[in-house]
Amino acid sequence: MKREKNTVTSYILISVLMLASVFQTFVPSSEAKAAELSQENFVDDFSISPDTLTHGEDTRISISFSDKSGNNMSVGDTLTLQVPENLEATRATQLLKNSEGVTFGVCEVSSNQVKCTFNEMVEKLNNIRGEFFYTATAGFVEPGSTVDYTTNLGTNLDGKNYSITALEGGTEPGVFFYKTGDMLPSDPDHVRWFLNANLKKDYLNSDINIQDTIQEGQELVEDSFSITIEDYFGQSKVLTKEEFEAEQYGTVSIHNNMSFNINIYQDKASTNAFYIMYLTEITENGKKQEKFVNNYETDYTILHEEPVSESGTHEVNNRFTGGGVEGDPPLPGTVRIIKTLNNDENLLLENVSFNIFKADGTPVNNGEPIITNNEGMVEVANLPAGEYYLQEISAPNHIEFDENNKIFFTIEPNSDEGLILSINNNIATTSVPVEKVWELQDKEAETVTIHLLADGERV
């Protein structure tokens, strides 16, 4: 049988990035050079205020920091801090911005740790400095005891002291009604409010009427009501709003998302204590408030006593996080070149060489090339005001550049800051010819699938 050959030739365009040799030619991302700063003298100081706490009380932990590396911070640098022992931080995400609204990083706060990650802006500016704060809540200690603690947040600073105290429990309730509220560290989007009535379990000669008015920055979550009823013998049960009304304990009338009325019938109110909890959701504007306020009015009559009308206000402090970062641009007369790869500011190229000239072609820097460092940057200082241009003369293997391209820039007279130039390169590509030879004509296929491998891995 005669054998015939039929040839199919394909060309596949591949990125040389897939070749292992390229990974040695540039700094690929923050993974290659990012540092953890908690032990690098980055933190200047911190405070815990107040530092004498009772169980369940909130405190603010504030941290100030500044770069002391000689302007060598890198994209991806992190600052990881431990939340002090027996304090629970409020979960939050806080952007670190400067006064112009430019983001330099983000701090993620979990219950026991804070981790701030910095972006490429810390490489573009000098003298990075800033501050950050978050809210934490004092944990449990034995009733009647005070426990002392010391923390340095996991830094190399000296420790600072704080204490948590728990009061003795078991006292008899001294009031008929009170209102309180709080925010849980695990839920920074809501405020919990508590209305507590007939705490001494008196016999009553009237219904208990409670009018509650929610103030700005929050809105009632209508399906959040949880009503605990404790009888004279200490047995309790928890009802929803619907169950409370169905079992004819009373009514809950919601007028809008800012107020409601609770009426507890006299026969069900007598000898029973009521603990009413509901949630309000913090609005976008409310997230900026220092505190949340709610007002109440209540009317009731204890058997054989005069009718009572009470009104009052309770406040709950917002669980804030906050912070910011500032940095200085290059000094006047300075041009800073930042070399990026594939238009990705996280991919920085070292060992890229430039010549710098005045506009008339006169060499600058004594004609010596300037070369980007392992941060992908290089600076030329003390340039007089005028017109200049750069020409790239060499780059790592497999990186595209045009040595004839002139990149013009201007040093302005009387400018109070230098100039930052971000210049991009792309990875070179190549064509790989692939020849498919059919040994048998009757075995030809309409299509051919070809897999290209780089170091044994499919591309």
**pLDDT at residue 399 in the model:** 85
pLDDT of residue 347: 81
Size of the chain in residues: 459
CA distance 247 to 231: 15
Overall average pLDDT of the 346-356 stretch: 88
Q: Give the per-residue pLDDT at 11.
A: 40
Q: What is the pLDDT of residues 159-197, one digit of tens each?
A: 999 999 998 765 566 789 999 999 998 899 999 999 999
Find the mean pLDDT for residues 120-145: 93
What pLDDT does residue 172 have?
61
- For 61-92, how does the pLDDT look when each residue is reduced to its tens digit (9 = 90+)? 999 999 998 888 988 999 999 999 999 999 99
Give the pLDDT score at 86. Answer: 98
Average pLDDT of the chain to the nearest whole number: 88
- The answer to whether residue 115 scores a pLDDT higher than 70 is yes
Q: How sure is the predictor about 4, in pLDDT bands with cuts at 50, 70 and 90?
A: very low
Give the number of other CB atoms < 10 A from CB of residue 420. 18
Inform me whether the pLDDT recorded for 19 exceeds 70: no
Instruction: Give residue 429's pLDDT.
Output: 73
Tell me the per-residue pLDDT of 282-314, one tens digit each, with 9 for 90 and over. Answer: 999 998 898 999 999 999 999 999 999 999 999
**pLDDT given at position 345:** 74
pLDDT at 173: 67
Give the single-character DSSP code of 27: B
pLDDT at 12: 40
Across 46-56, average pLDDT:
95
* Whether the Cβ atoms of residue 157 and residue 168 lie closer than 8 Å to each other: no
pLDDT band at 5 (very low <50, low <70, confident <90, very high): very low
Long-range contacts of range 91-98, CB-CB < 8 Å, 24 or more positions apart? 91/185, 91/186, 91/188, 92/134, 92/188, 92/319, 92/321, 94/132, 94/134, 94/321, 94/322, 94/323, 96/130, 96/132, 96/323, 96/324, 96/325, 97/324, 97/325, 98/324, 98/325, 98/326, 98/327
pLDDT higher for 449 or 61?
Answer: 61
Is the pLDDT at 96 greater than 70? The verdict is: yes
Choice between 18 and 442, residue whose per-residue pLDDT is larger: 442
% of the chain with per-residue pLDDT over 90? 67
| Contact assessment for residue 294 and residue 181, using Cβ atoms and an 8 Å cutoff | yes
pLDDT higher than 90, residue 408: yes
Q: Is the pLDDT of residue 224 over 80?
A: yes
What pLDDT is recorded for position 18?
39
Rounded distance, CA 116 to CA 79, Å?
A: 5
- SS3 of the chain: helix, strand, coil, percent, to 5: 10, 50, 40
Please say if the pLDDT value at position 6 is more than 60: no
Give the residues across from 313 on adjacent strands.
295
pLDDT confidence of residue 190:
96
Average pLDDT over residues 311-337: 92
The encoded tokens of residue 137 equal: 């809540």
Instruction: Show the domains of the chain with their CATH numbers.
Output: 43-166 (2.60.40.1280), 177-321 (2.60.40.740), 330-427 (2.60.40.10)
Give the mean model confidence (pLDDT) for residues 330-357.
88
DSSP per residue, 181-245 = EE--TT-TTEEEEEEEE-TT---BSS-EEEEEEE-TTEEE-GGG-EEEEE-TTS-EEEE-HHHHH
| Confidence at residue 443, expressed as pLDDT on a 0 to 100 scale | 63
